Amino acid sequence: MSNFRLISKQIVRLLSHPTAVDNRLLPICRQYSTLNETQESAKSGDEKAGDMPLWTSIITRSDHLEDMDNVNPKVTPIREVWLENMSTVESRKLSIVSLHPYIFGTFPRVDLIQENHKWQTLYKHIDWRWTPRRHELSGTTRKPWPQKGTGRARARGIRAPQWIGGEWCHGPRGPRTYFYLLPFAKRVKGLTSMLSTKLAQDDLKVVDTLESFPTDKPEYIEKMCQQRGWGPSVLIIDTCDIFPQNIALATHEIKHINLMPVFGLNVISMLKHETLVLTLNAVRDIEKKLLYQMRRTDLHECYNKIRSTKALHQ
C-alpha cells in the first residue's frame, strides 16, 4: 500500500474518534498535503478540480497565539479544532485553528459553573411579597372588651397577629432583591470552564465567517445543523451585534437557534444550548479579552469599587 493510502487511513481513523482533533492530526495533514501536491504535479492537467478528493483542500494553519510566554506546550498542549465553512450545507474543513490552552484547555470546574448558574438565575429575581404591619391596617384602635372582669384573655386591639385580619408577624416586606455580585475570578473561571467543556465534548465548532451564509430560508440552516451533526439547540457567536441579513432572517423564527455577540457570552446561555458555534474572529476576541482579565494587575482597585453584598441587603 502506498504512503498516500496509509496517511488517508490514519486521517479517517482519527476523525472517527470523538477527540480526534489534537496535535496528532496536524503533522499527518502536512505530510498528506505534501504527498498530494507531488502526485498532482505528476498527473496530467485533464482532471477536473471537482473530482479531487476533499483532503486536497486542507490548508494547515499555523496561527501565532498571543500571550504564550508563560505557556509550556509540553505541559498544557495547545488545543486544535477544524475551521469549517458556512457557504454549503455539507461541512468543508478549511484549515486547523489553534486554541489557547488557558481558555479552551483548562480543567472544568463544575462547582464554579454551578455558582455562575445560580448567580445568573438570582440576580434578576425580586420578591414582591408584602404583608402589612399593625399600624398599616385599617380599623379602630380601641380595646374589644375591658381589661378585667370578663373572664376572657386580655386584648389590646383587633389588629393583633392572633386575630383574623390582623397583622402578619415577621412577614415578608417586599420588594426584596436577591442580587449579589459573584467574585471576579469565579466569573472568569466559569467562562473558561464552560468553553473547555464544550470543546472536550466536541460541541464547539469554529466557522470562517457568517457573511458567506447564502440564503435567508430557515429550512437551509436546519438542514445544515442536521447534516453536520449539530445538537438540537445551537448558539452562534460573532464579534458584532449586527449580524448578516441572511442568517439573521433564517434564525428569526427558529427558537432553538440563537445569535449572540461576544460581549453577551455567558455561562447559562452555553448551558442551555448543546452546540456552540464561534466565528474565527470571535475566537480571537474571546481569547484576547479573557486573557486580559486573567492577567490584569488592578484587581484590588476593581474590588474596592464594588459595593459589599451586605450593604445591598441592609
pTM of this structure: 0.72
Asked if pLDDT for residue 52 goes beyond 50, the answer is no
Pairwise CA distance, residues 140 & 151, whole Å? 23
Looking at residues 210-226, what average pLDDT do you find?
94
Q: Say yes or no to pLDDT of 65 above 80.
A: no
Whether 255 shows a pLDDT value over 90: the answer reads: yes
Q: Topology of 3-63+71-108+182-312 in CATH?
A: Ribosomal Protein L4; Chain: A; (3.40.1370)
Which sequence spans correspond to the domains of the chain?
3-63+71-108+182-312
Among the ranges 28-42, 133-147, 176-190, 248-262, which has the highest mean pLDDT value? 248-262
pLDDT at 113 over 90: yes
pLDDT band at 46 (very low <50, low <70, confident <90, very high): very low
Question: Quick one: 302 exposed, middle or buried, by C-beta within 10 A (0-12, 13-18, 19+)?
Answer: exposed
Return phi, psi of residue 296, to 5°. -75, 150
CA quadruple 277, 185, 108, 14: dihedral, nearest 10: 50
- As a whole number of Å, the end-to-end CA separation of the chain is 77
Residue where the block lists cell 486542507: 58
> Quick one: pLDDT band at residue 306, thresholds 50, 70, 90?
low
- 45-54, 115-124, 137-146, 193-202, range with the lowest pLDDT: 45-54
Residue 13 binned pLDDT confidence (cut-offs 50, 70, 90) = low
Mean pLDDT, to the nearest integer, of 250-266?
95
Measured distance CA(111)–CA(189) in Å, rounded: 10
Residue of 81, 82, 80, 78 lying closest to 101 (CA atoms): 78
Residue 95 pLDDT more than 90?
yes
Instruction: Give the CA distances from residue 253 to residues 4, 49, 129, 217, 225, in Å, rounded to whole numbers and listed in that order.
Output: 47, 38, 36, 10, 15
Smallest CA-to-CA distance from 14 within 33, 28, 4 is with 28
Grid coordinates given for 314: 441592609
Cβ(175)–Cβ(127) under 8 Å? yes
Q: Please give the share of the chain, as a percent, with pLDDT higher than 90.
A: 53
Contacts of 195 (CB under 8 A, 6+ apart): 103, 104, 204, 270, 276, 286
Q: How many whole angstroms separate alpha carbon 132 and alpha carbon 113?
A: 39
As a whole number of angstroms, the distance between CA 232 and CA 222 comes to 10
Region 138-164: mean pLDDT is 88
Cα angle value 221/222/226 (rounded, 5°): 115
